[in-house]
């Protein structure tokens, strides 16, 4: 299975500060991958590296096996990008914005773009500066989709939108994915949205990859354990502890395990994605799941 994005030891430095460091990950084609992490974790940097807006300071990144810096034309033809806050030329009318897309891209599906915007009730003759935030986001998405990309990358696409616009945006996005089968990588603060739409997850914190895995494998590979507090550490046979919280008599652990915990003292629960992500974000030292094999092992679509 080809990877949509594959990076090895990827790093990017601004002056002395590393925005992204030693990032090795693989996002298989056909996935909808969520990129989560606190502000400044390097999400935008990773996306910009993937589309060739930035040059790596270390390591390499490939999109469908092509370097986005050396062969920017080939990569740009395959990748749609929606930058943060959906920038558009404010003085351009909507139809002029489509004209821009038509003229600047080698592939362009004008009918789809127009019918999509018509269905959303966005008037062609309106200036982009006069559109609502949700409408601007839709136009930006439409622009990225009309070039029929194999990979669509979106930087915080819904964070600035109200709940209704957010839902409508995700509806459009998911419908387009259902129609075209393109791979998606989107960064988001909103874990609920990630849980809803993504089947692959990359957690970044402090510029490094903490988790890169299919969501199902991730969730099924973790357990919430509740049991009596023990002295002498939190070690659990056959598992690695991600997070431990202790009451006076009872301990709650979030562990990563490949099988079942056999120790009967632990009461075992499934854990939701949101709790899991928060546990990783809170415990940046907690081991990583970098093996690309694991990440790619999910069932193909």
Partner 1 sequence: MAAIAFRLDGRSGVPTYRQLTRQVHRALRLGVLERGDQLPTAREVVEALAINPNTVLRAYRDLEQQGLVQSRPGQGTFVVDVPPGPSLGDRQALRRGLERWVRDARRAGLDDEGIDTLVDVTLRDLASEEEIA
Partner 2 sequence: MLWLTWRQHRGEALAVVAVGVGLGAVLVLTGLQMRSAFDAQGVGGCLSPVQPANCSGVVNGFEQQFQLYLSFYQWFNLIPLVLGIFVGAPLVAREVERTTHLLAWTQGVTRTRWIVTKLALLAGGAAVAGIAFTLLMTWWRQPLDLIAGSAMRPDAFDFEGLAPAGYFVAALSIGIAAGTLLRRTIPAMGVAIIAFLALRFGTIALLRPNFMSALVVSTPVDSRPAAVGNGAWVLDDRLSDGAGHAFSGRFAFDQLCAGINDSKGALTSCLQHHGVVESLTYQPADRFWAFQAIELGLFVGVSVGLMVLTVWWVRHRIS
Comparison of 128 and 165: residue with beta carbon closer to partner 1 = 165
Other beta carbons within 10 Å of 105: 17
Looking at 57, 67, 72, 284, which residue binds partner 2 (CB under 8 A)? 72
Shortest Å, Cβ 55 to partner 2: 7
Burial of 262 (0-12, 13-18, 19+ CB in 10 A): exposed
Residue 137 as a binder of partner 2 (CB under 8 A): the answer is: no
Q: Which of 49, 45, 70 is nearest to 6 (CA)?
A: 49
- Which residues here bind partner 1, judged by CB under 8 A? 30, 32, 167, 170-171, 173-175, 177-179, 192, 195-199, 216, 219, 260, 268, 270, 272, 274, 299, 301
Q: At what angle do helices 110-119 and 94-104 cross, to 10 degrees?
A: 160
SS3 at position 23: strand
272 binds, among partner 1, partner 2, none (CB under 5 to 8 A by kind): partner 1
Residue 174 as a binder of partner 2 (CB under 8 A): the answer is: no
Residue 171 in contact with residue 134, Cβ under 8 Å? no
Residue 226 in contact with residue 250, Cβ under 8 Å? yes
Residue 78 in contact with residue 32, Cβ under 8 Å? no
Of 23-31, 52-60, 164-172, 279-287, the segment contacting partner 2 by CB under 8 A is: 52-60
The answer for residues whose C-beta is within 8 angstroms of residue 39's C-beta and 6 or more apart is: none
Q: Please state, in angstroms and rounded to a whole number, the distance separating the CA atoms of residues 263 and 182.
A: 44
Residue 81 as a binder of partner 2 (CB under 8 A): the answer is: yes
204 binds, among partner 1, partner 2, none (CB under 5 to 8 A by kind): none
Residue 159 as a binder of partner 2 (CB under 8 A): the answer is: no
Residue 140 as a binder of partner 2 (CB under 8 A): the answer is: yes
SS3 at position 293: helix
Other beta carbons within 10 Å of 13: 15
Residue 231 as a binder of partner 2 (CB under 8 A): the answer is: no
Comparison of 33 and 128: residue with beta carbon closer to partner 2 = 128
Q: Which of 124, 108, 101, 116 is nearest to 172 (CA)?
A: 116
192 binds, among partner 2, partner 1, none (CB under 5 to 8 A by kind): partner 1
Comparison of 26 and 200: residue with beta carbon closer to partner 1 = 200
**DSSP structure string for 143-192:** HHHHT--SEEEEESSSTTS-HHHHHHHHHHHHHHHHHH--EEEEE-S-HH
Q: Please state, in angstroms and rounded to a whole number, the distance separating the CA atoms of residues 29 and 195.
A: 19
Looking at 8, 57, 60, 105, which residue binds partner 2 (CB under 8 A)? 105
In sequence order, the β-bridge partners of residue 246 are 251
Looking at 41, 46, 83, 122, which residue binds partner 2 (CB under 8 A)? 83
Comparison of 73 and 249: residue with beta carbon closer to partner 2 = 73
Residue span 25-44 as binding mask against partner 2, x where in contact by CB under 8 A, dash where not: --------------------
Shortest Å, Cβ 269 to partner 1: 9
167 binds, among partner 1, partner 2, none (CB under 5 to 8 A by kind): partner 1
Q: Which residues sit at the interface with partner 2, rule CB under 8 A?
A: 48, 51, 53-55, 72-73, 76-77, 79-81, 83-85, 87-90, 92, 96, 99-101, 103-107, 140, 143, 147
């Amino acid at each position: 299975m080809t990877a949509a994005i594959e990076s090895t030891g990827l790093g990017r430095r601004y002056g002395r500060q590393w925005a992204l460091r030693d990032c090795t990950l693989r996002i298989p084609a056909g996935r909808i991958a969520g990129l989560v992490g606190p502000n400044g974790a390097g999400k935008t940097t990773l996306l910009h590296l993937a589309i060739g807006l930035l040059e790596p300071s270390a390591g390499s990144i490939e999109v469908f096996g092509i370097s986005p810096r050396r062969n920017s034309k080939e990569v740009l033809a395959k990748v749609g990008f929606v930058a943060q806050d959906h920038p558009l030329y404010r003085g351009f009318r909507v139809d002029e914005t489509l004209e821009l897309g038509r003229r600047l891209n080698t592939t362009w599906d004008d009918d789809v773009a127009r019918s999509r915007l018509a269905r959303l009730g966005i008037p062609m003759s309106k200036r982009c500066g006069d559109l609502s935030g949700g409408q601007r986001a839709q136009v930006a998405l439409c622009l990225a989709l009309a070039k029929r990309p194999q990979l669509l990358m979106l930087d915080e696409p819904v964070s600035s939108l109200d709940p209704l616009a957010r839902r409508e945006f995700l509806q459009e996005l998911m419908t387009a994915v259902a129609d075209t089968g393109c791979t998606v990588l989107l960064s988001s603060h909103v874990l609920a949205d990630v849980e809803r739409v993504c089947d692959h997850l990359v957690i970044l914190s402090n510029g490094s990859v903490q988790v890169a895995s299919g969501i199902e494998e991730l969730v099924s590979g973790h357990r919430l354990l509740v049991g009596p507090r023990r002295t002498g550490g939190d070690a659990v046979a056959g598992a690695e502890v991600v997070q431990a919280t202790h009451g006076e008599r009872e301990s709650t652990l979030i562990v990563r395990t490949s099988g079942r915990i056999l120790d009967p003292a632990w009461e075992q629960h499934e854990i939701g994605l949101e709790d899991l992500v928060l546990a990783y974000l809170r415990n940046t030292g907690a081991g990583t799941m970098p093996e690309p094999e694991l990440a790619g092992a999910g069932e193909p679509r």
